A and B are shown apart, each in its own frame.
Chain A
C-alpha cells in the first residue's frame, strides 16, 4: 500500500486542479477511464468537494476563511478591490480568483487564507497590499515571503498529552508480549472516550470491532477537524505525529487490522510531506510495515487527503470519502465497527483519542483515569480563539470551568462562548460556571469567545450559513431545512423579520434537529436555537412589529424591469 496513493480519485482530482485550475468535462471522462471508475462517480465527487472546480480558477487561487475566528472578509474585499476582481469570478486573464471557504483551522493565527492550497496566516492590510503586488507581478507563490506561511503551535497550557513527546516505539514496546485482551482492558479501564465530541467508549469501540466476524479490519484516524474554531489536531499532527501513528498501530494490534488510514482534511495538506516522512521513518525503524518490532504483526498506514467537506468529519462519510465517493453519511446501523471501510469492521477514532490511547498503554490506565472527572477521564485539548489576549491550545483535565478558561486566555467583557463549534453550544455569562465534561458541556475542542463588541446575530448568521454550505444534501430535512434556516435568519438579521418569522425559525429548527439523517442536520440548528434561548433580546430588537413582512424585497424585485425599460417613475417602485 502506497502511503499516499497518486491513483486515489481525490488525489488525482487535486493534482489535476493544481495543474489545470479546474476539472473539465473532458478531464472527468479521461480520469474515469484511467481509474476505471464510472464517469458519473468522478463527476459526483468533483462536484461534491469544495476544493474542486468545474470552471477555471485563477493561476492565483485564493480562498479566504470566513470563520468568525480565522476569517476577515474585509481583507478579502480589500484584495478584490486592489486587483479589480469580484468574489467567485475568475479574472478574464485567468490570473486571479478569490472566494470564501469554511474555517481552515488557523483560528489562533488571525485572518487566514489558502493560496493555491497553501495556508497563509496573520493577514493584515499591509500584507494584502503586498500580496496584491506579488500577484500583479505574477511572482510564484514559492517566492513569496516565507514568514507568511509560518504556522506555530501556540500551546498555552500543557497537560497529560502535550507535556511529553513519546519516544517512537515506546508504546509498542510497552505492549510487546501482552495479549489483545490485556491491552483492551487497559484502554477500557482508563475510561477513555472519543475526543471528537460524541464520547463513545474507546475500549468498547475497539472490542466491538475486534469481535465482529471478518477476515480483515481497518483502523482509521479522523484528522478532518472541520468544526469551525477547532485546531487542536493540527498541533498533534504537527508535533505528536509519531504518538498518533503509535496509537493507530496499537489499535491495529488489538483489533487485528493490518492497514490503517489517516484521513487528513484538505486544509492541512501543508503537513502532508512531514507526515509521510514520519511514516517512512517509522517504517525504517521497524515500527510499521511487515513484522512490526519483530512481533510477527504486520501494519501499515496510508494517508488520504480530503478536499473541503466538513461532512467528512462524520465517520461514515469519511469512510465513503476514503472509498473515492462523495462524503454522504451511511445508514446506521450497521455501524463502522461491524461494517466500515470496504464493508469491513473499522475503528474510526479522532486524532486526540489515538494519541491518548498510546499514552495509556505506555503509562497504564491510572496515569489517565486519575485526571478529569468521574464520568470524563483524562484531559481535553481545547482550541481557544476569538476575543481574547492569548488564543491557542489549552490542555485541561476534564471538569475545568468555562470561567477558568476565559481567565487563562485573557478574555474580557465576554458576551458569549461557542463551545464545540457551531454544532456545539452557545452559552452566555450565566453558564460560565459550567464545566467542560461529557456530562456537562461536551466538546470536540472548539472554544470561541465573543466579547460585548460583537454582533452576536452576525455570528449566529455566520454559523447558519456554514451549515447551509456544508449540508451534503442527502436527506430532505437537512438539505432544504438548512437553506430555509439561513434565509429565515438572514431576514431577521437584516431587520425584515417579524414574530412570525421567529416562530417559523423555531419550528423549522426543531424539525431539522429531530428528523435529519446524521449529526450535521441534528446540530445545524443549534446556533439559532441556543441564540433564541440565551439571547432572545438580540432577536427581538431586530423585529418589525407587524403581522408579516414579505419574503423578498418587493422593490428590489422590480430592479431588472426598471433597468430593461429605463423607468424610474413612482409606479416603477414598490
Chain B
C-alpha cells in the first residue's frame, strides 16, 4: 500500500513519489525512469522545445520536462505509440540539419544519435532539408558548426545560468532559426566564452566542439557505442521502414449541434 500522505504519480503503471515543485521529468529521473529528452538538463531551467519528452498525462500530450507533477497523474511514457512519435520527432531533427554522423567527431558521444539508437531509428524518413548554415571556426579552442545545431538552447541557458555570461542566443524564425553569438562581430572569438565554461561543453550534438580533442577515444569505444542513452536494453530493431503516427489518440471531432439555441 502506498503512503496516503506521500504524493505520487503513476508512470506506466508504476507509482513514484514526487515533491512539490518537481516536474514529471524530475520525479521520473529521481525514480530512475527514463523519459527520452534532448533539451533538458537537471540544473538548468526547463525548456520544453525538443518535445522528445512528450508523454500522455491522463490522455493529454504534455512535455514532461516542463509539466509540474501533480498527485493523481497517470502518465503513459514507454509505450510503443509514444516511442514512435518520439522517433518521428528525432527524424525531424535529423533531416532539418546536416547530421552526417560518419564525418562528425562527436559521433558515439552524441545524444541525438543515442536517442536514434534508443528508439530504433534507421532512416530520416522525410526528405532531407540540407540547409546551408555557417561554420564559425574563429575561436582558437572551440568550433561552432551550425549544421548540427538542434536548437535545444542548452548552451544558451548554460552560459546565462551557470557561467554568468550571455554568449549564445537563437535568432530568426521557423526553420531559419540559428544559433548566434553575442559578441560585437557575432564571431565566437570575440565573445567572452572560455574553455572551462559549461556552455563550451554542454552541446549534446557536434555543434559546439572542443578543437584538437575529437579523436582521443576511438570510434567504437565511445559512450553510446558502449551504453544505451537510457541504460536499458532495447529489443531487436526491426529494419523495416516504420510508419510514424499519432493518430490513434485522436478524439472524434465534434460535428456540431448547438445546445440551448
Contact = CB atoms under 8 A, between A and B. Distances in A.
A and B touch in the complex (CB under 8 A): yes
Given A435-B258, A510-B247, A515-B61, A40 B175 contact: no
Chain B CB within 10 Å — which of A38, A48, A399, A476 has the most? A476
Interface residues of B, number: 54
B132 to A, nearest CB: 15
A551 B96 contact: no
A374 B171 contact: no
Contact of A480 (B52, B95, B182): B95
Interface in A425-451: 431, 433-435, 437, 439-441
Given A38-B169, A475-B51, A552 B127 contact: yes
Q: Number of contact residues on A: which range applies?
A: 35 or more
Contact of A511 (B66, B85, B182): B85
Contacts of A482: 174
A477 B174 CA distance: 11
Nearest to B52: A476
B11 interface: no
A338 to B, nearest CB: 12
A440 B92 CA distance: 35
Given A468-B174, A484-B126, A552-B127, A476 B247 contact: no
B221 interface: no
Given A399-B258, A479-B177, A474 B92 contact: no
B51 A506 contact: no
A232 to B, nearest CB: 21
Interface string A365-399: 00000000111000000000000000000000001
Contacts of B49: 474-476, 517
Interface in A478-515: 479-484, 487, 503, 506-508, 510-511, 513-515
B257 interface: yes
Chain A CB within 10 Å — which of B51, B174, B183, B246 has the most? B174
Contacts of A47: 171-173, 176
Contact of A471 (B93, B151, B170, B173): B173
Nearest to B153: A474
A108 interface: no
B54 A40 contact: no
Contacts of B96: 479-480, 483
Contacts of A468: 174
B127 A551 contact: yes
Contact of B127 (A29, A441, A477, A487): A487
A326 B181 CA distance: 16
A431 B49 CA distance: 37
B258 A40 contact: no
Contact of B169 (A41, A469, A551): A41
A435 B247 CA distance: 27
Contact of B51 (A38, A43, A517): A517
B180 interface: yes
A437 B258 CA distance: 7
A564 interface: no
Interface stretch (B133-141, B197-205, B224-232, B248-256): B248-256
B18 interface: no
B50 interface: yes
A487 B166 CA distance: 36
Interface of B: 46-52, 54, 61, 63, 66, 68, 85, 88-89, 92-93, 95-96, 126-127, 129, 151, 166, 168-177, 180-184, 186, 243-247, 249-250, 254, 256-261
Interface of A: 25, 29, 38-41, 43-44, 46-48, 50, 309, 326, 331, 333, 373-375, 399, 431, 433-435, 437, 439-441, 468-477, 479-484, 487, 503, 506-508, 510-511, 513-517, 551-552
Given A44-B169, A374-B261, A515-B85, 19 more contacts: A29-B184, A40-B169, A40-B171, A44-B170, A309-B173, A331-B46, A333-B68, A435-B256, A439-B257, A439-B258, A440-B257, A473-B151, A473-B176, A477-B89, A506-B247, A510-B246, A510-B247, A514-B85, A517-B51
Smallest CB-CB A-B distances: 6 pairs? A374-B260, A40-B182, A40-B169, A480-B92, A434-B256, A435-B258
